[in-house]
Structure 1
Amino acid sequence: MNAQNGLPKLRFIPKREREKLDQQKKEREEKEKQDAERRRAEEREKQRKKREEEEKVSDEIVQRFHRPVKKPGQKLSAEEIDQLNFATRYLGPEVNKNSSFHPRKRRRGAKEFNFDWDPLDDTSRPEDGEEIPRHPSRGKPKATDSQWPLGWGEEAEAKAQKQARLLEDIHGRERAEQHMQRFYEERERRKKEDDRMLGRTKNWGNKSLEEMNDRDWRLFKDKAGITIKGGNLPKPMRTWSESGLPESILGTLRRREFKDPTPIQQAGIPIALAARDIIGVAKTGSGKTLAFVLPLLVFISQLPPLTEYNMSDGPYALILAPTRELAQQIEKEARSFAEPFGFNVVCIVGGHSLEQQAIALQAGAHIIVGTPGRLVDCIENQFVVFHRCCYLVMDEADRMIDMGFEEPVSRILSALPSTDSRSDGVDGVDGIDVPGFIPHLGGGLPPRQTMMFTATMSPRVEKIAAKYLRQPAMVMVGSTDEAVDTVEQRVEFVSGESKRLRRLEEILSDPNLKSPVIVFVNVKHSCDAIAKAIRRMGWSTATLHSGKTQQQREEALKDAREGRTDVLVATDLAGRGIDVPDVTLVINFNMSGTIEAYTHRVGRTGRAGKTGIAITFLGPEDNDILYELRQMISKSPVSRVPDELARHEASQSKSARRRGGGGERGGERGGDRDRDRDR
């Protein structure tokens, strides 16, 4: 009970738990129904036996007390009269066997009472001043066009048409058409009213925006797994046509065959278009890139164009990513949508010449996509300034913090313009509630809009959000601690590298397996060794880890995406944000150090509506994570917890020890983490 007001404490029940409770309720109701049917059957059997016994007793009485038969003209003796009275007393009066009367038989001429209205009982009156049309032959008053037949089926329509023909004979064709039009309008109105009273409403997917009510929006968000927190927020969009995006962007979406927006796009884009700061929490492969790229383009399209006079003031937008590969992937996606606007997108990552990137910045950049380490180098060398940067995106913020970029991120954010010029409204957001409206302060640049996307809200991520975001809206999609439900998760207990290589060869030898396949390892020094062993098996391989040069990493990803490589062997560097299409299988040669990293590895397959398989090799070194792994697999609707994992002693309770000795940053065992500082 709540100590303040005495009310019970409310608890949010997730959708999966609600479905489980509903299933238990249905099973309980079905059992109660079967028990009630069984009791009714027993009661009927009991009544039947009782009637049989009564009939048997009645037959004995008849045999014992025979009713004397009186013939015509014959008098009964005193003894026969006593016997007749005795039989009448116990058997009742004598029944005339020739009578056809039966208490349940319907009498001739009797009618059952009808509780419904007779369609002919029309008591409506004509409108004031209107004459009642009379039939020319009979001279009897007929119904006018103001008298509607009760009921709205085919019979009522036929009667209305009959009335229309009568009106046409008397008042003309125009009056008859008005009569039928009013009939159809009234029938439609009555149908809608009946549907509303009886709860027969349309599904939210078949309703227009004007017809959607609060209940429809709740059902829509519940189905999509969307949770939104924050005041004065616009409704989500259901389709791209409801987004309010420019036709140039919608045309690009159609050309690239983006049919329906994902849940994070449905909820995030309308809020971003309303100039709100956002914290987006969604699992891997949820389409977060378009959720911030499309509103970004709309935002800066309303700002002054770049000229030779303001080109040195820096970009309008900055997108931060934890790894080079993710930054280049975002740059490619943003460039494809920015071309119709004429915007210039520049990627600033390590592994490339700093001087060349400085030249690209001097040519003018509307949008910069970069990694924290290289951006700090550019700031220190005064290659870039952010005097007019009014749109900031931090993608995979928890990953950046986990990789040790907290200090560089804080330094970059400190170089951006302050948001103190924004005046607080009722909800701390200037009272903005119209999507697409961007306030300008005295004709200058608008206050900065910040979007942060993360998979987990660690205390350090919350600290950055509280410092640099202004009254953000929280958008959560699904559960971030669960792998996608399009991936079947399998685990196998295989100890030792030699046994795992043999098992890996058996898996890759499956003739039904299609490339590419991603094999994850924990440390970069074993990445090349395993790739070499796979090549000896007869498959083409590529490796991806921080020990490679940037050119080698880009070539490895390009070969995997274009199908020239069968197997990509990678560390957790490829675990987040990297999109390699049509990956049908992910193999964890080494189990990851954290369940979050495992989730992102598994998310490399089963993307874009397709299905995939993830196989994980386990050994004694993985005992600390078996409990969390078992819990995650049990939540998946397409996966099954194997008996060996379910019975394992380490999977029964959560381990109190921290793996890798690194707290939040403890990922790979032995301290040999594949961390890329992107210098």
Structure 2
Amino acid sequence: MATNNANGTSSKKRVPIDVEQLLAQKKAADEAAKKPRFLSKAERERLAAEKAKKEEEELEQKRKATLEKNRDWETQGRNQGYGHGNNPGHRDSRREAVPTGPRAMRHDHPNEYSNGGRSDQRGDQRGNNKGKGSNNGVKRPAPEDVDADMIRARYMGPELNQSTFSAQKKRKRTGGQKFNFGWNDEEDTSQDWNPVYSKRSDAVYTGPMVFDGLNDAEIEKEYRRRARMIEERDPEHGKQRARQMLDQMEREKEKSKSKRTKNNWEFKELADMRERDWRIFKEEFGIASKGGHIPDPMRNWGESGLPSHLLQIIDQVGYTEPTPIQRAAIPIALQARDLIGVAATGSGKTAAFLLPMLEYISQLPALTEFTKDDGPYALIMAPTRELVQQIETEARKFATPLGLTVVSIVGGHALEEQAFALRNGAEIIVATPGRLLDCIERRLLVFSQCCYVVMDEADRMIDMGFEEPVNRILSALPATNEKPDTEDAEDASVMRRLLSAKDRYRQTMMYTATMPPAVEKIAKQYLRRPATVTIGNIGEAVETVEQRVEFISGEDARKKRLREILLREGYTPPMIVFVNVKRNCDSVAREVQNMGLSAASLHGSKTQQQREEALAQIRSGAKQVLVATDLAGRGLDVPDVSLVVNFNMPSSIEAYTHRIGRTGRAGKSGVAITFLASEDNDVLYDLKQMLSKSSISRVPEELRRHEAAQQKPTKGR
């Protein structure tokens, strides 16, 4: 309600906040607090840098103090006579700085303390009274006053809280002369003329050494210096003492190393890991997990629980260290648990579901002439043909040495060709939903013994309209091996139990970068008590990609800027340029070839053979630049991509995230440059937020001040 004030202007009446609104705010805050929170990598690096700097400063201070202390001990040993030889006339300046007693006790200063205070009383006791009387000048009270005090105390009681301060007893401060702790040269009491001191041996002081703040090299240097001095100055027993000192050096080095590494999870045995150590480990790799009885993640491949023959193949393939999603997901999958893995693109999800799958299948009976027509043991679904073929290539690295067969089913190839590949049976099938459903409807494939299902890039499959085919494929799986929706679904011993001679309970895994409602619906329908593993923050770009944005309008201006980037800024091939529409793809590819660079184009209108050839050329190095639509923006792995250029900004921030994820993979760094124009206003706010969260990217001033980047756009009805 508006009212008019004295100036004629209207002011709104303040209305108190509704109780329901307060409750809704509190509920939203509680839900936000329950979600897993992680420090960003930039924040963790900043805190780690500050901590390391502080520890380094403390270490340097301890090191200096230790070296100085060792030098002082040596100097002290020499001053006590171990370094002077037989020189009786030598006098130590340090010894001269130590007093032997007060000057009043010396014969040449008998009356130095004769003035005032307690020194006068001591003087009286020694017979040096200055004539102040036996009572030290205190006036004796009169007898009448004493009687009056006794009568007062008898009838009125003693006086309490009576001050005993007396100005007579107050210590008199010395005027000009102060106590001096020094001593004169003639007061030396060392008596070097004594014959006992004239026969001292020329030994070396070998006091204890302190190693706080010293590194191993400095510890060894100090010990060897001491050992060398001992050998030089003790010809008889020096070598034996030096050897003992070097043995002590080795023990101190081990002790120092143990002290520095006792709180590091990398140097702890698995049995010594505590809850705090696991929490630090998970925070370091950005791991969050939920869903019942979840095992601890693995720190290395040796703790994964995989069989030895698989570990040998992993070593041959070249997987040295597991990625965060592999550390968290493999131990869970080995317990036959259903799993939802949420991780950014390029995080190693393929090996995270392939290795547990191969361990699972290797324990099942081998396919025979009677069982090969009952279908595969495992099914992997992916949204695009290129991603399916990439998974097939990766799976064959591990499956072929185990004697397992992997077959891919994608569009663009004849059905007869794929049926011929399945004639001898296959333990693992990798397929796109559309062509796989076509094979099921044509009775070319059945899933009578399928007991392992993986959906990779599930959110992308839903975005591409595969929700209905995915549901029909999952409903075609046998119902006899479905898990019960009870607590038994979280019990590894029950879930790994054989139901029959050829299969077990079916294990379902879903890997995705985001969790839209359609994906959650599928997970709720087909997964039983799944464990959820989240790596990092959902929807954010990886920290190894430097993101840059430039406002450039017009096709010709963008091509000119693209020429400058590819030719003058020194990026090494392979490089990827993303466009939004197919017709623009070939045009930009021809422009890149006119620059003198070899280019290949990839979009949905090309045949499957042309698409496979383009990817093979860019991976082998035959082509330097790949110009593609979003067909190559999801899940494809092209090694060592140094640059990604978004010639056109995609319509969603999710597509942008997956595009720039083609670079900066496997821990390497990369650069992503995006051209913006007025038609991209709907994504400017999300883009600004993503750039501000990156520790190595900068928000340009034009984007920061842009009107469309100030608030998130709202969609109309």
Both proteins in one fold, TM over 0.5: yes
Are positions 1:15 and 2:75 aligned together?
no
Are positions 1:331 and 2:392 aligned together?
yes
C-alpha deviations, 1:410-467, integer Å up to 9, x for none?
Answer: 1111111126653455x34162269xx8211254510110000011111110110011
1:447 pairs with one of 499, 505, 522: 505
**Aligned partners of 1:607, 1:282: CA distance in 2, in Å?**
13
Aligned partners of 1:455 and 1:480 also within 8 Å = yes
Aligned partners of 1:351 and 1:549 also within 8 Å = yes
Cα distance 1:237–1:419, how it changes in 2: closer, same or farther (>3 A)? farther
Shift of 1:92: 7.5
Shift of 1:17: 6.9
**Aligned partners of 1:253, 1:302: CA distance in 2, in Å?**
18
Aligned partners of 2:261 and 2:267 also within 8 Å = no
C-alpha deviations, 1:227-250, integer Å up to 9, x for none?
Answer: 001111211101011112122221
C-alpha deviations, 1:573-622, integer Å up to 9, x for none?
Answer: 00011011111000000001100000000000011111100000000000
Give the corresponding residue for 1:638: 696
Give the corresponding residue for 1:495: 553
**Aligned partners of 1:21, 1:261: CA distance in 2, in Å?**
20
Give the corresponding residue for 1:34: none
Residue identity opposite 1:351 in structure 2 = G
1:401 pairs with one of 454, 462, 467: 462
2:524 pairs with one of 461, 466, 469: 466
Give the corresponding residue for 2:589: 531
SS, match of residue 634 in structure 1: helix
Matches within 5 A, 1:44-193: none
Give the corresponding residue for 2:362: 301
C-alpha deviations, 1:128-163, integer Å up to 9, x for none?
Answer: xxxxxxxxxxxxxxxxxxxxxxx9999xxxxxxxxx
- TM-score normalised by L of structure 1: 0.70
Residue identity opposite 1:335 in structure 2 = R
Give the corresponding residue for 1:70: none
Give the corresponding residue for 2:318: 257
State the superposition RMSD in angstroms. 3.7
Runs (5+) with no aligned partner, structure 1: 28-73, 76-80, 82-87, 103-150, 155-183, 662-679
SS, match of residue 533 in structure 1: helix
1:374 pairs with one of 435, 438, 445: 435
Give the corresponding residue for 2:352: 291
**Aligned partners of 1:557, 1:23: CA distance in 2, in Å?**
39
SS, match of residue 276 in structure 1: coil
Aligned partners of 1:418 and 1:448 also within 8 Å = no
Give the corresponding residue for 2:666: 608
Matches within 5 A, 1:258-277: 258-277=319-338
**Aligned partners of 2:557, 2:703: CA distance in 1, in Å?**
19
Shift of 1:657: 3.1
Residue identity opposite 2:320 in structure 1 = K
444-453 or 328-337: bigger deviation: 444-453
Give the corresponding residue for 1:205: 266
Give the total of aligned pairs: 515
Residue identity opposite 1:384 in structure 2 = L
Matches within 5 A, 1:557-576: 557-576=615-634
**Aligned partners of 2:340, 2:577: CA distance in 1, in Å?**
32
**Aligned partners of 1:589, 1:544: CA distance in 2, in Å?**
14
Cα distance 1:309–1:495, how it changes in 2: closer, same or farther (>3 A)? same
C-alpha deviations, 1:327-385, integer Å up to 9, x for none?
Answer: 00000000110011100000000111110101111211100000011101101110000
**Aligned partners of 1:492, 1:94: CA distance in 2, in Å?**
80
C-alpha deviations, 1:623-665, integer Å up to 9, x for none?
Answer: 111000000011011101011111111111111138xx9xxxx
202-211 or 330-339: bigger deviation: 202-211
2:471 pairs with one of 410, 433, 449: 410
SS, match of residue 452 in structure 1: strand
Residue identity opposite 2:367 in structure 1 = L
SS, match of residue 422 in structure 2: helix
Shift of 1:262: 0.2
Larger Rg: 2
Identity %: 57
Are positions 1:505 and 2:571 aligned together?
no
Aligned partners of 2:574 and 2:626 also within 8 Å = yes
Cα distance 1:353–1:222, how it changes in 2: closer, same or farther (>3 A)? same
Residue identity opposite 2:38 in structure 1 = K
Cα distance 1:308–1:633, how it changes in 2: closer, same or farther (>3 A)? same
Are positions 1:388 and 2:449 aligned together?
yes
Residue identity opposite 2:659 in structure 1 = R
Cα distance 1:2–1:259, how it changes in 2: closer, same or farther (>3 A)? farther
Aligned partners of 2:601 and 2:626 also within 8 Å = yes
Are positions 1:359 and 2:420 aligned together?
yes
- TM-score normalised by L of structure 2: 0.66
Are positions 1:429 and 2:489 aligned together?
yes
Cα distance 1:95–1:530, how it changes in 2: closer, same or farther (>3 A)? closer
Residue identity opposite 2:527 in structure 1 = L
Moved >3 Å (runs of 4+): 8-13, 17-24, 88-102, 151-154, 419-425
SS, match of residue 657 in structure 1: coil
SS, match of residue 509 in structure 1: helix
Residue identity opposite 2:285 in structure 1 = A
Give the corresponding residue for 2:637: 579
1:322 pairs with one of 372, 383, 386: 383
